[in-house]
Structure 1
Amino acid sequence: MNGILRFVGFALVVALTVALIATLAGCGSDPGERAATPLPKLDTFVVAADTATGGRAWDGTVEAVREAVLSAQTAGRVTAVDADVNDRVAAGQILLRLTVVEQQAGVDAARAQLRAAEASAVEAERQFQRFSALAKDNYVSRAQLDQIRSARDAANAARDAARAQLSSAGQNADYTTVRAPYAGIVSARRVEPGETVNPGQPLLTVYAPDDLRIEVRVPQSAAESIRAQPGARVLFDDGIAVDAREVVVYPAADPASHSVPVRVLLPRMAGAIAPGTTAKVVFPIGGDARALRVPTASVLRRGELTAVYVVKDGRVLLRQLRLGASAGGTVEVLAGLRAGDVVARDPEAAVQAIVLQRDAAGAGHG
Structure 2
Amino acid sequence: MSRPSLLILTLCLVLAACGQGGKDSKVSDKNASASAERPLQVTAEDYVTIQNNSLASGPVITGSIQPERKADLRAEVSAIVLQVFKENGEVVRRGDLLVRLDDTAFRDQLASAEQGARAAQQTLDQAERQLERLKTLRASGMTSMQALEDAEIRRNNAQSELVAAKARSVAARQQMQRTEIRAPFDGIVSERKVSNGDTAQIGKEIMKVIDPNSLRFQGLISAESVNVVKAGQSVSFRINGYDQQFIGKVRRVDPAANATTRQVEVLVDFVGKDQPHVSGLYAEGRVEAGSTEALMIIGSALIRDGDKTYVWAVQDGLLKRLAVVLGERDVRRGDYSITSGLKSGDKVLRQPLSTFKDGTKVNLVASAGSAPANASASASASQAASAASVTGK
Q: TM > 0.5 between the two?
A: yes
Aligned to 1:104: 107
**C-alpha displacement of 1:240:** 2.8
Aligned to 1:240: 244
**C-alpha displacement of 1:194:** 1.9
Percentage identity across paired residues of the two chains: 24
2:267 to 258, 263, 267: 263
CA contact (8 A) 2:100 2:179 kept: yes
Tell me, in whole angstroms, the C-alpha distance in 2 between the residues paired with 1:270 and 1:228. Answer: 21
> Superposition RMSD on alpha carbons, in Å?
3.2
Aligned to 2:364: none
CA contact (8 A) 1:230 1:248 kept: no
Aligned to 1:323: none
Aligned to 1:65: 68
1:279 to 280, 283, 290: 283
Tell me, in whole angstroms, the C-alpha distance in 1 between the residues paired with 2:73 and 2:175. Answer: 15
Runs ≥4 in structure 1, deviation > 6 angstroms? none
Scaled by the length of structure 2, the TM-score of the pair is: 0.57
* Secondary structure, aligned partner of 2:212: coil
CA contact (8 A) 1:77 1:98 kept: yes
Tell me, in whole angstroms, the C-alpha distance in 1 between the residues paired with 2:281 and 2:172. Answer: 43
* Secondary structure, aligned partner of 2:117: helix
Tell me, in whole angstroms, the C-alpha distance in 2 between the residues paired with 1:80 and 1:52. Answer: 57
5+ residue gaps in structure 2? 1-53, 294-298, 300-304, 310-330, 341-393
1:148 matched to 2:164 = no
CA contact (8 A) 1:210 1:269 kept: no
Could you say if the C-alpha distance between residues 75 and 269 of structure 1 is closer, same or farther in structure 2, counting changes exceeding 3 Å? farther
**C-alpha displacement of 1:158:** 0.7
Tell me, in whole angstroms, the C-alpha distance in 2 between the residues paired with 1:195 and 1:255. Answer: 39
Could you say if the C-alpha distance between residues 256 and 201 of structure 1 is closer, same or farther in structure 2, counting changes exceeding 3 Å? closer
Larger displacement relative to structure 2 (194-203 or 103-112): 194-203
Tell me, in whole angstroms, the C-alpha distance in 1 between the residues paired with 2:92 and 2:151. Answer: 57
1:191 matched to 2:203 = no
1:216-266 residue CA offsets vs partner (Å, 9 max, x unmatched): 232444223222653323322323333325521123444554443221233
CA contact (8 A) 1:210 1:268 kept: no
Tell me, in whole angstroms, the C-alpha distance in 2 between the residues paired with 1:165 and 1:265. Answer: 47
Could you say if the C-alpha distance between residues 287 and 258 of structure 1 is closer, same or farther in structure 2, counting changes exceeding 3 Å? farther
* Secondary structure, aligned partner of 1:111: helix
5+ residue gaps in structure 1? 1-50, 290-294, 296-307, 313-326, 331-338, 341-366
Could you say if the C-alpha distance between residues 153 and 99 of structure 1 is closer, same or farther in structure 2, counting changes exceeding 3 Å? same
Could you say if the C-alpha distance between residues 246 and 126 of structure 1 is closer, same or farther in structure 2, counting changes exceeding 3 Å? farther
1:169-225 residue CA offsets vs partner (Å, 9 max, x unmatched): 111111111111111111111111122222221111111111122222324442232
* Secondary structure, aligned partner of 1:133: helix
Amino acid of the residue matched to residue 243 of structure 1? Answer: I
Larger displacement relative to structure 2 (241-250 or 126-135): 241-250
**C-alpha displacement of 1:271:** 5.2
Tell me, in whole angstroms, the C-alpha distance in 1 between the residues paired with 2:125 and 2:289. Answer: 76
Larger displacement relative to structure 2 (136-145 or 107-116): 136-145
Aligned to 2:132: 129
Aligned to 1:208: 211
Tell me, in whole angstroms, the C-alpha distance in 1 between the residues paired with 2:197 and 2:212. Answer: 30
Scaled by the length of structure 1, the TM-score of the pair is: 0.60
Tell me, in whole angstroms, the C-alpha distance in 2 between the residues paired with 1:270 and 1:243. Answer: 9
